[in-house]
Amino acid sequence: MDIQSKVEKREHWSKKREYILASAGNVVGLGNVWRFPYLCYKNGGGAFLLPYLFFAVLCGMPLFLLETVIGQYTQEGTITCWTKLCPLAQGNEVISLYSRVYSIVLAWALLYLVYCFRDPLPWATCNNSWNTDRCVDITSANQTAVHSDNVTIDWTLGNLTKSSVSEFWERQVLSISAGIEEPGAVKWEVLLCLLACWVACYFSIWKGVRSAGKVVYFTAVFPYVMLAILLVRGLTLPGAWEGVVYYLYPDPSRLADLQVWMDACAQVLFSYGVSSGSLITLGSYNRKNNNCYKDSLWLCALNSTTSFVAGFTVFSALGFMAYKQGIPINMVVESGPGLAFIAFPQAAAMMPVPQLWAACFFLMLILLGIDTVTITSSVIDMFPGQMRRPWRREVFLIVFCLFCFIIQISLTTQGGVYLFQLTDHYAANGACILFVGLLQCGAVGWGFGAERMCDVVEDMTGHRPSVFFKLCWRYFTPLISVVCFVGFFLDYQPLTSNGGYMYPNWAYHLGWVMALSSVVVAPIWAVSKICLTSTLMTAQGGAGPSAATSRGERRKTG
C-alpha cells in the first residue's frame, strides 16, 4: 500500500492560460518566421493566401481540433490515447522522433546570439580569418571593394563575389564540406550550443507541466514582443514598403501550378503542428471540462495571423537590404536557414545599433524553437506505475535528452547541414504528415465515429461542434489528404542544395528509408494487431461467435 501511495497522479495545467501559452508556443515556431514569408513570395504573393486558407480551413483546423479533443478526452499521451479510441491506430507517431532534428537550428541561433555581443558584428566585415579574397563587405552600398586588392566589384556579379555574411555562415559557423559524403570534423562551438539547448529543454520540462507551465510565460510571450519590435523597426526603414509590396503583390497565374498548392498544404500542416503528437499531449493535461473547441479555433487563428504578420517583418528587412545595396529584392531572398542566418543578419548589420537588433532576432528564434518534448510524456503514460514514482521521470528525461544529443552530434560536423536538409526534406515532409493525418481521420471519423466524437466535445465543453467538422473528419480532410499525398509524389523533385549540389544515390535512398519509416509503422501495427487478435480468438473459441452460440444452445438443451 505504501508503494502504491508513491505513484504520482497525472498532472493538469495549474491555470488555463498556461495551456494557451504552451499551445501558442508550440504551434507558432520557426516555420512562421522563415518559411511562410518565403513561400508567399515564391508562389504568387497575395495569391498564395488562397490555397493557404483552403488547406487551413479544410485540413489544418479540423486536425488541430481533433487532436486537442483526443488528448483532453482520453487524458493520455500520443501513444496510449488510441487504446481508448481505436487501438489499430497506434504506431503513427514515428514522425515526432524526426522533429527533434530542429534542435540543431536552435544551436545555430544560440551561436549567432553569442556573436551578437561583438563590435563590429563578425559577419559584417571581411577582416576575419575565415574570409576569402572573394569576400564583399555587406555594410557598403551599391558597389564595394574586395578586401584583398581593393578592386571595385558590383553586387550583381553574383558568383564572382561572396558576401561577408554568407562566408560567416558557410565558413565559420558550418565550415561546410563539399557534400554529405565528407562529414569532416565536429564544430565544437556548435556542439556546445547544442548541448546548452538540450540542457535548457531538460530544465523546462523536468517537472512536467508544473515546470513547463511556468516556463511558457516567458518562452511564449517574449517572441511576440520581439516580433512586434522588429516589425515596427522594419517598417520604418528606407525601402521597407517596396519589400512589403513585393511580398504581397498577387500573381494569380501561379495558382495553376501544382507546386503552389503542395507548398500551401505542407506549410499549413507544418505550422499548425498537427500529426506530431504535441497537440494531443498538451490537450491531455487539460481538465475534462475545458472548452477545447473555442481554444482550438482561436489558436488556429493566432497561428495563421502570426505567419502573415511575420512576412511584413521579414520583407521589410529584405526591402531595406535591397535599397542599401541597389539590387532587386529577388537577389536577397533566401529560403529556410538562408533567410534566418544570412538575410536577416545582413539586414541587422546595416541598421543603427546592429548588435541590439541581431540579438533580438536570434533570441526570438531560440524561444520559438523551444517547446515541450511530447515523446517523454507518451512513454510515461505507457508505464505509469514505473515512471510516475519520485525521480523516475527526471532520470528518464536525462537519458532521453542525452540520447537525442548524442544522435545529433552528426549534425554538428562540417557535413551536418546536408544531413539536416535530407531529414527535413524526407523524414518530416508534408506527405508524411498528411499520411498520419489521414490515419487519424480514418480512426476517429470511421472507427470511433465522427458523430460520437461530436458527442464527446459536447459533453466536455457544453458546445456541439459545427457539422462542418464532422464532415471534415469523415470526408473532406481524408479526401484532400489522399489527393495531396498523391500530388506530392507527382510533384517530387530530388533534393539539391542552394549551390546546386546533388546528393549521392545512397543519400536519396536513406531519405526514402526515413520517409517510409514515418508511414509504414502504423499499417504494420494495425495488421499485426488484427492477426494477433484473430489468432487469439481462434485459439480460445475455435469459431468465435458461432462457437459461443453453439455452447449457449447446448446449455439450453441441457
Burial class (CB in 10 A: 0-12, 13-18, 19+), 368: buried
Judge residue 492's burial from the number of C-beta atoms within 10 Å of its C-beta, 0-12 exposed, 13-18 middle, 19 or more buried.
exposed
Confidence tier at 355 by pLDDT (50, 70, 90): very high
Cβ neighbours, 10 Å, residue 251: 13
100-114, 144-158, 202-216, 384-398: the lowest-pLDDT one:
144-158
DSSP conformation class of 464: P
Greatest mean pLDDT among 215-219, 285-289, 382-386, 524-528 lies in 285-289
pLDDT beyond 60 at 157: no
Looking at residue 206, its amino acid is W
The segment with the largest mean pLDDT, out of 37-46, 219-228, 469-478, is 469-478
The answer to whether the annotation marks 32 as part of a ligand binding site is yes
Q: Tell me what the mean pLDDT of segment 128-143 comes to.
A: 73
Q: Which has the minimum average pLDDT: 146-155, 332-341, 393-402?
A: 146-155
Residues β-bridged to residue 136: 146, 163
Give the pLDDT score at 349: 85
Own/partner pairs for 343-347, CB < 8 Å, 24+ apart? 343/314, 343/317, 343/318, 344/314, 344/317, 345/112, 345/121, 345/123, 345/165, 345/168, 345/169, 346/123, 346/138, 346/163, 346/165, 346/321, 347/317, 347/318, 347/320, 347/321
pTM: 0.86
Model pLDDT, residue 549? 46
**pLDDT above 90 (res 294):** yes
Q: What is the DSSP letter of 442?
A: I
Task: Tell me how far apart the alpha carbons of residues 283 and 276 are, in angstroms, rounded to a whole number.
Answer: 13
The annotation status of 28 as a binding-site residue, yes or no, is yes
Residue 479 confidence class, pLDDT cut points 50, 70, 90? very high
Q: Give mean pLDDT, residues 367-395.
A: 74
- Quick one: pLDDT band at residue 449, thresholds 50, 70, 90? very high
> Is 368 labeled as ligand-binding?
yes
Task: Please tell me the least confidently modeled range out of 86-100, 197-211, 245-259, 271-285.
Answer: 86-100
pLDDT surpasses 50 at 3: no
What mean pLDDT do residues 150-162 have?
49
As beta bridge partners, residue 145 has 152
How far is residue 37's CA from residue 434's CA, in Å, rounded to a whole number? Answer: 22
The residue type of 476 is: F
**Per-residue 3-state assignment (H helix, E strand, C coil) for 101-127:** HHHHHHHHHHHHHHHCCCCCCCCCCCC
User: Which has the higher per-residue pLDDT, 414 or 8?
Assistant: 414
Which residue blocks in 116-257 are alpha helix, DSSP H? Answer: 164-167, 188-205, 209-219, 222-235, 240-248
Residue 371 annotated as lining a ligand binding site: yes
Residue 337 has pLDDT above 70, yes or no: no
The answer to the question of whether 271 is labelled as a binding residue is yes
All 3 cell numbers of residue 461?
465543453
Domains and CATH numbers, the chain: 16-139+157-536 (1.20.1740)
Q: What confidence tier does 310 reach under pLDDT thresholds 50, 70, 90?
A: confident
Nearby residues of 39 by Cβ (< 8 Å), 6 or more positions away:
48, 263, 264, 267
CA atoms of 193 and 186, how far apart (whole Å): 12
Least confident span in 73-77, 166-170, 499-503? 499-503
Q: Who wins on pLDDT, 253 or 102?
A: 253
